[in-house]
Structure 1
Amino acid sequence: MFDERSPIYQQIADQIKDDIVSGALKEEEQVMSTNQYAAFYRINPATAAKGFQLLTEEGILYKKRGIGMFVSTGARSTLLEARRDRFFEEVVDRMVEEARRIGVPLADILKHLEKQREEGNQ
């Protein structure tokens, strides 16, 4: 599951975020404890705890004392909004800038996107 692209605790946080976005984890649903997570993935519990801490600081997870960690209400919409923003910054804005550099009119881009959408509905 884990690779060398980023620290394991970040990958843990990213995986939990992906699970929330996909609906595999629902708002107000309890997540595995850090010890369960560590045992399941055979990692140090402190590493798992650091990933959970990141999510807590972001407001994605919250702790119910004596019970465990839960997905915060509104976490999915917060994550979707952040991903939409990142999509426009990292993909669309860069695409438009490259199109300007090489002389592709915006109308051509829109026509191409519409064609892709139509082909996707078939």
Structure 2
Amino acid sequence: MLPMNPKQLRKLMKQINMEELEGVSEVIIRMGDREIIIKNPTVTVIKAMGEKSYQILGGVEEVRELLKIPEEDIRLVMEQAGVDYETAKRALEETKGDIAEAIIRLTEGQ
């Protein structure tokens, strides 16, 4: 295959309904219990038969495990600490779901 200059490559990509997205700083793929974060990826959109496909190129920067906090835990912390929903949820997230620790943090100094 002969080398192409960037202008020729862009023209060819346009002819086959393919374009590169500019300015993408990160892509986050969320799954049930974790997130995969790709920083500074190259993202290409391919349009075919009325559908769009996204091709993402780049190295995985980070994999985050997501903490699922049951609603009943949030309600219990709300009731015991006398705080609103968001405050209770944030305290549980900060304590990695530890109900007792969340209540203690929220009630210290009251």
Q: TM-score if structure 2 supplies the norm length?
A: 0.23
Return the index of the structure with the highest Cα Rg.
2
- From the two aligned structures, give the one with the greater helix fraction: 1
- Which structure has more relative contact order (CA 8 Å, sep 6+)? It is 1
- From the two aligned structures, give the one with the greater strand fraction: 2
